[in-house]
Amino acid sequence: MSEMVIVKKDGLYCVPGDFYIDPWRPVDRAVITHAHSDHARTGHAHYLATAAGAGILRARLGPISLDTLAYGETTVRNGVRLSLHPAGHVLGSAQLRMEYRGEVWVASGDYKLEADGTCQAFESVPCDTFITESTFGMPIYRWQPQAEIFDDINAWWCRNADEGRTSVLFCYAFGKAQRILHGLEADIGPIVCHGAVEPLNQLYRAAGVALPRTLAVGDITDKSSLRRALVLAPPSAAGSPWMRRFGDYSDAFASGWMRLRGSRRRRGVDRGFVLSDHADWPGLLSAIEASRASRIIVTHGQIPTMVRWLQQNGLDAGAFDTEYGGEEELEAVAETPAPSNAIPSEAQQQDA
């Protein structure tokens, strides 16, 4: 099987198409799977991305030469037929399908399988070679249905409001914050968003995503109403002077890393909600199986565990050394236990 995609010093390179996929250094032609900063960087001469993600991409990168495709629409570059398909990760996120001389490769970018109402739901794309992320590629990572997590968040907020304490929920500003907003019971109290979150909310609304009304702290004239408020803020706001205005508050953190013991303690928050915009272990395996690919290439996250498991289950699996890894992925270094030499049995995985 020919190597349609290889790793070069600037990023993942499609050889016959002469373009890069989410390159980490400036290149002439870049196909961008989504607008998180580890996948979408400045300095490229020409960009290609989804029409759904164009607003976010321009807002984050500034003036760029950008061409867009609707999901499923095709274009041809040097004989390679390209199309972008929903990844279910954040607004505008996509998997890149590349077809050349009868061979099909798919680069997944980042993805999750559970539809959340804030972005196009994940779509399985059959291929010969599947390039997959593995941020949470260990059997211990198994997510509850998001409806149960939102019930827990709303109950925590309601309890704090009844006790006259502001609820501060730390979460990543792009994607996670909007997903949480979409799942809130907005009648519990006012919803306040940090200045890093609100511009992204506006872009989601402009794209047709329904979000409840949100306020800036300065919009609240009756300071007593803050005691019933839910505040969404990025992790960088923790311990900052901006937090002092909330007085006696209860705080929490929403992330897939909250699945691990010690994560909440390390963060120093009252509550941890296990909510990730990446696929968990069963989701990764399900996506790989649905791709029907005979070859799997893992790009970032828990690479050794995922590659070893795939190989032990009879698949042709390997890895690409990339520079992907946003804030969530980088936490894996501190949070995730080192894998053992043996993949847990199915029974052990169920108990994890």
pLDDT tier, 336 (very low <50, low <70, confident <90, very high otherwise): very low
pLDDT at 261: 76
pLDDT at 139: 95
Is the pLDDT confidence value at 172 over 60? yes
What gap in Å lies between CA 90 and CA 177, rounded to an integer? 10
Torsions phi, psi of 157, nearest 5?
A: -60, -45
pLDDT tier, 263 (very low <50, low <70, confident <90, very high otherwise): confident
Is the pLDDT confidence value at 343 over 60? no
pLDDT at 316: 97
pLDDT at 18: 98
Is the pLDDT confidence value at 203 over 50? yes
SS3 of residue 180 by DSSP: helix
Question: What average pLDDT does the chain have?
Answer: 91
pLDDT at 329: 47
What gap in Å lies between CA 251 and CA 147, rounded to an integer? 20
Category of 164 on φ-ψ map: left (φ > 0), alpha (ψ -120 to 50) or beta: left
Work out the average pLDDT over 235-244: 93
Q: How far is CA 170 from the centre of its chain?
A: 16
Category of 43 on φ-ψ map: left (φ > 0), alpha (ψ -120 to 50) or beta: left
Work out the average pLDDT over 28-54: 97
pLDDT tier, 1 (very low <50, low <70, confident <90, very high otherwise): low
Task: Answer for the pair 297, 318: CB distance below 8 angstroms, yes or no.
Answer: yes
Work out the average pLDDT over 43-50: 98
Is the pLDDT confidence value at 350 over 70? no
> Which of 123, 305, 101 is CA-nearest to residue 109?
123
Task: Answer for the pair 349, 285: CB distance below 8 angstroms, yes or no.
Answer: no
pLDDT tier, 32 (very low <50, low <70, confident <90, very high otherwise): very high
What gap in Å lies between CA 206 and CA 197, rounded to an integer? 15
What gap in Å lies between CA 4 and CA 78, rounded to an integer? 12
The structural domains of the chain, ordered by start, are: 5-141+277-351 (3.60.15.10), 146-273 (3.40.50.10710)
pLDDT at 132: 98
The C-alpha angle with vertex 271 and arms to 269 and 274, in degrees rounded to 5, equals: 115
Could you say which DSSP state residue 72 is in? Answer: T
Strand partners of residue 19: 14
**Burial class of residue 286 (count of CB atoms within 10 Å of its CB; 0-12, 13-18, 19+):** middle
Task: Answer for the pair 217, 192: CB distance below 8 angstroms, yes or no.
Answer: yes
pTM value? 0.90
Q: Copy the structure tokens of residue 276.
A: 């990730």
